[in-house]
Amino acid sequence: MKLTINDVTHDFEADPEMPLLWVLRDILDIKGPKFGCGVAACGACTVLVDGVPVRSCSEPVGYVEGAITTIEGLADGDKLHAVQEAWLAHQVPQCGYCQSGQIMAAVALLDEVLQPTDADIDGAMTNLCRCGTYPKIRAAIKDAAQNLEG
Amino acid sequence: MGRIAKYTRRTFLGIGAVAAGGFAVGYYYYRKPYENPLEAALAEGETTFNLFVKIAADNTITIIAPRAEMGQGIQTTLAALVAEELDVTPSDVVVEHGPASPAYLNQAMLRMGGPFPWFDESFGAGALRGTMGVVSKFLGLQVTGGSSATIDAFQKMREAGCVAREMLKAAAAERWGVSAGSLQTADGVVTNPANGETLTYGALAAQAALLNPPSDLELRPRSEWKLLGKPVDRVEGREKVTGGRIFGIDVQLPDMLHATVKMSPRFGVGAKSVDINPALQVPGVIDVQEIKTNTGQGFGIIAENTWAAFQGAEALDVIWEDAPYPLDDAGMGALFDAALADGEAFELGGSGDVETVFAEAEPDDILEVDYKVPFLAHATMEPMNATAQFRDGKLELWLGTQAPGISQMVAASLLGIETEDVTVHTTHLGGGFGRRGEADFPLYAAALAAKTDGRPVKVTWTREEDTRHDVYRPRVEAKMRAVIRDGEAVALDIRSAAPAIMPSVIGRTFPSFPAPPDDEPILDGLFNQPLGIANRRYQGVVVDLPIPVGFWRSVGNSQNGYFHEAFMDEMAEKAGRDPLEFRLSLLQAPEHAPAKAVLEKVGEMSGWGTPGPDGTAKGIAHMLSFGTWVAQVVQLRDEDGAIRIEKVWCAADPGEVLDPRNFEAQMISGINFGLSQALGQKITFADGEVQEGNFYDFDAMRMWQSPEIEVAILETAPKMGGAGEPGTPPALPALANAIYALTGERIRTAPLSDTVTFV
């Protein structure tokens, strides 16, 4: 099978039923997307497929069509994506385990909506965070929106 | 590598300062210092000054922060303690968890846990806190828990930085032939201001470590702090926004196998029969092995990848033995009823003569109600996992653990090897909340590593396995009684029943240790609250129910905050008084002053007493837990019959704050964790098995439910308190009290979502 991940083409063998998450983590050793629930309920495994957020734990790899971006592919060399910068500026992460998925969901939101309202954020940011970092995620998204616009 | 100076004067670590009242036996052992475990594993050109500081010739400076980073920011704060004295910047140094070693014991954790209120400075309380510290030294507990890490480290890690700095200055003074007192240090460099000459710490380290450590240490006063008392960016921040491979589940080793476990869904029993063939037929599955440990019995499914292992576990055909306890919630309820009716109780704290006051009270003056909370899972974002490799009689473990020493001991005992033959690599933790101090996940990895011919194996649990094999926050039921006469609280009587945490933990972890006779967590957060009621009694009854229970963020305070503070509102109402004014009137003792201060502050922040907008209502609560005094006001809004948690104000006093931004983040985290309990969390039983399995039936607060939160920090309390847990206990009762204010309904059973609908 063949997939383009973070602009690199990967050739590999896998059961087409295997969820994309386990192909990324166990076969291709891309560890940014995390395993949280296995049923698309928490979003820790969120990656972008052609810019659309996908919960990779429940997406059989055989069905995946399009270029994949994981958290590892967001930065441009040492230069972080505006969302990552905002996450650092607000010191969002606590345990950090859900944050790869949160950041990917936020990147997808800001691609769709330049200046998201609170309701936009509530609607798009459905990933679970057990550390309860939601107020900081919200503030960071708004800041990132400003910075992307400017 | 040169000879490493033995650090001869280790009492500076503060260990010697603990009074060993009534603990004469073994006094010598107690005073004997631990070896510095860093000495055994120094790299070429590296020098260690003490347990917390390593400096390499190339000026790489490493600070050991030997507590689990599970989101609470502890590694950054611990690094700042050393850095403040060592004159380095946390972002310029390497911060490592370091090896598992009894030298990194957490004495503060056990000292904070005694059966005395935090504000009790009596001789008895002091002696007992001292004794608990001594016990912790014997056990060598390197544990992250009890919101105790900064309290434990505050003195000893600053001293470690100070000692290293003074030795480096002394080495430079020797080289330059000047007095050490004339030299300056900054950013890892010693400077002679007389001529501008400089030497890096790296250039001095090997020589400095041979010198005698200073005998008199003068730690910098707060007024001179550059890092402490101010926000410091997380040392691991960048890794956490770039997908860094920092968690246990990210461990990747050459030739590594993947596995999962399928343990008995009924506690304390194993398989009646099993057919492993359906599992072995799953492509990618290599082997199925039986696991028998103190923490659980079942099977490990070893495969080429995690997905295959998960499918193998699903295919494995097992019939489990019957549960040796009541099978469902109703059956278990009978045990609670019996315990509350006539079970043998233990008492903690209290005062006056409750029996007489109640016997003589007018029936109209008595308030009597029952409160209940269910079992709860921790639901850390990262499911339990550990990686193990067993070769040549030695075991290596990689895992995110709150208790590396316990992992080491139990794994050694399972494999019949020495504790020293187990090496533990502690990774970052994708959430802990008390769950990751347990021995089960390292044990199962060790058991499977013994069957893989020396190949490493990563054992990842499914979410369902994690939810159904937790060590739960106990189900607790309490009878609350009060006598309110002429608008005043005269007596408070609480009788609470729950499965005991300490015997459960000790029984599965160290089965040969005697369990304590009673269980302080059942009453923690009740008997030790600041409260000026003359007649008080707190009785705990242990419910003999062998469901594994454990430490869940804020432990006993998690239910007792709800019981105490929701009932306080009921008492205020019966007294015909405002809930805030009523509380303040019961906090007149000088030692209760911080409670009064945070309540007054949160009242002011929230505009308590002035009616809010239409369709809104507020509730208030205060709890002292883990040494920190926290008052919260929750404001709700009625949205077409559904309740929105709109805003939370929080005033907290931990005495002294080392990182205010991080402390605020911990309050926010604790509040959202506490509120999550209300929104549907309950673990229920049928056929002896936990019914909930994943986030669709055991969820937590989501973004669209999360309130705006405003935190004020006070620093008036006389002793330093913790940060990770004390935000949690007041959140649920403040919410319940706000619901009463909004709807007129008293909810005395959690989750509150069983009674009302939330947004």
Question: In which element (H, E) is residue B644 found?
Answer: strand B642-653
Of B246, B665, B694, the CB nearest to A94: B665
B362: helix, strand or coil: coil
- Residue matched to tokens 């505009």: B607
The pair of structure tokens assigned to B429 is: 């933790």
Whether B144 and B108 have beta carbons less than 8 Å apart is answered as no
Mutation choice for B interface testing from A24, A70, A85, A131 by most B CBs within 10 A: A131
The set of residues, in sequence order, having a beta carbon less than 8 Å from that of B415 and lying 6+ positions away, is B390, B395, B446, B450
Number of domains in chain A: 2
Lowest average pLDDT, out of B70-79, B127-136, B535-544, goes to B127-136
CATH number at residue A64: 3.10.20.30
**Which of these three, A44, A73, A102, is where a domain ends?**
A73
Domain range holding A54? 2-73
Distances (CA, A) of B102 to B136, B430, B439, B509: 10, 24, 17, 17
Whether B444 and B396 have beta carbons less than 8 Å apart is answered as no
**Which of these three, A50, A73, A96, is where a domain ends?**
A73
Q: Is B233 close to A72, i.e. CB distance below 8 A? A: no
A52 and A97 share a domain?
Answer: no
A63 and A91 share a domain?
Answer: no
A100 and A141 share a domain?
Answer: yes
Whether B85 and B161 have beta carbons less than 8 Å apart is answered as yes
A69 and A86 share a domain?
Answer: no
The set of residues, in sequence order, having a beta carbon less than 8 Å from that of B356 and lying 6+ positions away, is none
Distances (CA, A) of B145 to B107, B237, B551, B553: 11, 22, 9, 9
**Confidence at B30, pLDDT banded by 50, 70, 90:** very low
**Which of these three, A73, A95, A122, is where a domain ends?**
A73
Q: How many whole angstroms separate alpha carbon A67 and alpha carbon A37?
A: 24
Question: In which element (H, E) is residue B300 found?
Answer: strand B297-303
Q: Is B694 close to A41, i.e. CB distance below 8 A? A: yes
Sequence-ordered alpha helix ranges (H) in B586-659: 593-606
B279–chain A Cβ distance below 8 A for any pair: no
Which pLDDT score is estimated for B355?
A: 98
Which pLDDT score is estimated for B64?
A: 96
Whether B349 and B538 have beta carbons less than 8 Å apart is answered as yes
Q: Is B241 close to A38, i.e. CB distance below 8 A? A: no
CA angle B175, B178, B182 (to 5 degrees): 120
Of B375, B271, B294, B331, the closest CA to residue B688 belongs to B331
Of A39, A88, A125, the CB nearest to B241: A88
In this predicted structure, the answer to whether residue B2 has a pLDDT above a threshold of 60 is: no
A66 and A117 share a domain?
Answer: no
A60 and A7 share a domain?
Answer: yes
A64 and A92 share a domain?
Answer: no
Beta bridge partners of B96: B64
- Tens of pLDDT, residues B178-235: 999 999 999 999 999 999 999 999 999 999 999 998 888 899 999 999 999 999 999 9
Which pLDDT score is estimated for B129?
A: 64
A32 and A88 share a domain?
Answer: no
**Confidence at B130, pLDDT banded by 50, 70, 90:** low
Q: How many whole angstroms separate alpha carbon B31 and alpha carbon B13?
A: 12
- Nearest CA-CA distance, residue A41 and chain B, Å: 6
- Tens of pLDDT, residues B718-733: 999 999 999 999 999 9
Q: Mean pLDDT score of chain B, rounded to an integer?
A: 92
Give percent of chain B above pLDDT 70.
93
The pair of structure tokens assigned to B408 is: 């080491």
Query: What DSSP character marks residue B376?
Result: B
Q: How many whole angstroms separate alpha carbon A14 and alpha carbon B128?
A: 60
pLDDT digits (tens), chain A, 150 positions: 999 999 999 999 999 999 999 999 999 999 999 999 999 999 999 999 999 999 999 999 999 999 999 999 999 999 999 999 999 999 999 999 999 999 999 999 999 999 999 999 999 999 999 999 999 999 999 999 999 986
A6 and A54 share a domain?
Answer: yes
Of B590, B657, B655, B650, the closest CA to residue B623 belongs to B650
Of A35, A121, A137, the CB nearest to B249: A35
Give me the amino acid identity at B682: K
Selected residues 668-727 of chain B with any CB under 8 Å from a CB in chain A? 668-673, 676, 694-696, 699-704, 706, 708-709
CATH number at residue A133: 1.10.150.120
Number of A to B CB contacts under 8 A, please give it: 174
A118 and A99 share a domain?
Answer: yes
Residues of A in contact with B247 (CB under 8 A): 34, 97
A68 and A101 share a domain?
Answer: no
> Strand runs (DSSP E) across B585-673, as ranges?
616-625, 628-639, 642-653
In this predicted structure, the answer to whether residue B6 has a pLDDT above a threshold of 80 is: no
Q: How many whole angstroms separate alpha carbon B102 and alpha carbon B741?
A: 51
Q: Is B702 close to A18, i.e. CB distance below 8 A? A: no
What ipTM goes with this model? Answer: 0.98
Of A22, A37, A100, the CB nearest to B463: A37
**Average of pLDDT values for B660-684?**
98
Give percent of chain B above pLDDT 90.
85
Which pLDDT score is estimated for B144?
A: 85
Q: What are phi and psi of B176, to 5 degrees?
A: -90, -10
Output the pTM of the full model.
0.94
B24–chain A Cβ distance below 8 A for any pair: no
- Tens of pLDDT, residues B341-397: 999 999 999 999 999 999 999 999 999 999 999 999 999 999 999 999 999 999 999
Q: Is B243 close to A100, i.e. CB distance below 8 A? A: yes
Q: Is B241 close to A136, i.e. CB distance below 8 A? A: no
A111 and A60 share a domain?
Answer: no
Q: How many whole angstroms separate alpha carbon B734 and alpha carbon B601?
A: 15
Sorted by where each starts, the structural domains of chain B and their CATH numbers stand as 4-106+141-241 (3.30.365.10), 249-323+384-460 (3.30.365.10), 329-376+472-754 (3.30.365.10)
